[in-house]
């Protein structure tokens, strides 16, 4: 009993340490965003700014089109997440339920394709999009993000589909439900946590992506947040730290909000009791 309690305490302690480790950069970012320049150069930095200021936010908004960039990022990320999930869900179902040699090969290819570096594909991709007249457009960027997120989304969802017992679908068939009805009414609701998790992955990947956006978007009004954030950086990594921190803090918020809204949907245990074993 005592051993179990101390083990539990150790677990909580480890979890707390991990949380602190994760939270530190973000809290420091918030602190930096509200500091005036003279406090940024202090040898003895403080968590709470002595003279908190909104000047960094004002400068960030004055210098760069942050709102336009945020809207572009939102469109790209939501679009990529929705389309990736819409395509990946039926594909994952087929790959999970029909274990043919082709499906196995496809799964293998999906895993291998994750190893391709961005730089390897960027020029051919650029040329393809140019021919489609999708350079410098958010839909073009969404297309790239969907293609980029699809393999991992597929891989994630296959696992979720396999976790849904086939007995449930068989029972629905016995009750007279057709294939489509079974999918929509039985399987899809049970896949909801997986779909949400996959959508979240696709959203955050697109929201944070920098390189494709940098290369594919030419005009300022089309650029996304990660690209606009680099405008606060000079040569050799010199940074305009205050406005950069302010803009980065604002850029982090939507991801946090989206995660906060849908994280409660990513819960296990939805299948508990569905099948008597």
Which of 91, 142, 200, 202 is in the footprint of another protein by CB under 8 A? Answer: 142
Q: How far is the CB of 242 from another protein (least distance, A)?
A: 9
Cβ neighbour number for residue 159 with a 10 Å cutoff: 11
CB of 223 to another protein, least distance (A): 8
56-64, 95-103, 180-188, 252-260 -> range binding another protein (CB under 8 A): 56-64
Task: Kindly state whether residue 117 participates in binding another protein, applying the rule CB under 8 A.
Answer: no
74 scored as a contact of another protein (CB under 8 A) = yes
Instruction: Let me know if 214 is exposed, middle or buried by CB neighbors in 10 A (0-12, 13-18, 19+).
Output: middle
**Residue 238 near another protein by CB under 8 A:** yes
User: d(Cα 113, Cα 153) in Å, to the nearest integer?
Assistant: 12
DSSP state at residue 264: G
Q: Contact between 269 and another protein (CB under 8 A)?
A: no
Per rule CB under 8 A, is residue 7 in the interface with another protein?
Answer: no
Contacts of another protein in 75-104 (CB under 8 A): 75-76, 78-79, 82
* 193 is an interface residue for another protein by CB under 8 A: no
End-to-end CA, the chain: 31
Residue 262 sits in the site that holds another protein (CB under 8 A): no
The region of 3-11, 25-33, 182-190, 217-225 touching another protein under the rule CB under 8 A is: 217-225
Task: Say if CB 85 and CB 195 are below 8 A apart.
Answer: yes
- Closest to another protein by CB, 17 vs 123, is 123
* Residues between 145 and 174 that touch another protein (CB under 8 A): none
Q: Does 53 bind another protein (CB under 8 A)?
A: no
232 is a site residue for another protein (CB under 8 A):
yes
Q: Tokens representing 236?
A: 């050799």
Distances (CA, A) of 99 to 106, 167, 266, 267: 11, 17, 27, 27
Considering the rule CB under 8 A, would residue 28 count as an interface residue with another protein? no
CA-nearest of 62, 51, 39 to 241 is 39
Long-range contacts of 190-193 (CB under 8 A, 24+ apart): 190/164, 190/270, 190/271, 190/274, 191/89, 191/157, 191/160, 191/161, 191/164, 192/265, 192/270, 193/160, 193/265, 193/266, 193/267, 193/268, 193/270
With contacts defined by CB under 8 A, name the span among 18-26, 66-74, 178-186, 264-272 that binds another protein: 66-74
User: Which spans of this chain sit near another protein (rule: CB under 8 A)?
Assistant: 37-38, 40-45, 59, 62-64, 71-72, 74-76, 78-79, 82, 119, 122-123, 126-127, 130, 133-140, 142, 210-211, 214-215, 218-220, 222-223, 227, 230-241
């Amino acid at each position: 009993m005592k051993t179990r309690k101390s083990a539990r305490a150790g677990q909580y302690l480890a979890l707390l340490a991990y949380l602190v480790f994760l939270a530190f950069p973000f809290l420091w970012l918030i602190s930096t965003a509200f500091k005036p320049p003279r406090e940024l150069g202090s040898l003895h930095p403080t968590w709470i700014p002595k003279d908190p200021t909104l000047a960094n936010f004002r400068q960030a908004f004055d210098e760069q089109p942050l709102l336009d960039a945020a809207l572009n990022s939102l469109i790209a990320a939501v679009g990529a997440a929705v389309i990736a999930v819409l395509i990946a869900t039926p594909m994952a179902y087929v790959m999970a339920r029909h274990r043919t040699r082709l499906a196995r090969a496809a799964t293998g290819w999906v895993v291998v394709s994750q190893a391709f570096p961005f730089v390897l594909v960027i020029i051919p991709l650029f040329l393809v999009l140019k021919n489609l007249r999708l350079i410098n457009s958010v839909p073009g960027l969404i297309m790239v993000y969907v293609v980029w997120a699809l393999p991992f989304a597929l891989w994630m969802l296959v696992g979720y589909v396999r976790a849904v017992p086939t007995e449930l679908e068989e029972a629905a068939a016995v009750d007279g439900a057709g294939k489509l009805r079974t999918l929509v009414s039985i399987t899809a609701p049970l896949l909801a946590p997986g779909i949400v998790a996959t959508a979240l992955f696709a959203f955050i990947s697109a929201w944070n992506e920098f390189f494709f956006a940098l290369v594919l978007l030419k005009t300022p009004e089309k650029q996304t947040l990660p690209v606009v954030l680099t405008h606060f950086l000079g040569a050799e990594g010199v940074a305009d730290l205050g406005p950069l921190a302010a803009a980065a803090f604002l850029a982090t918020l939507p991801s946090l909000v989206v995660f906060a809204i849908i994280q409660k949907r990513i819960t296990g245990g939805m299948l508990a009791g569905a099948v008597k074993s």
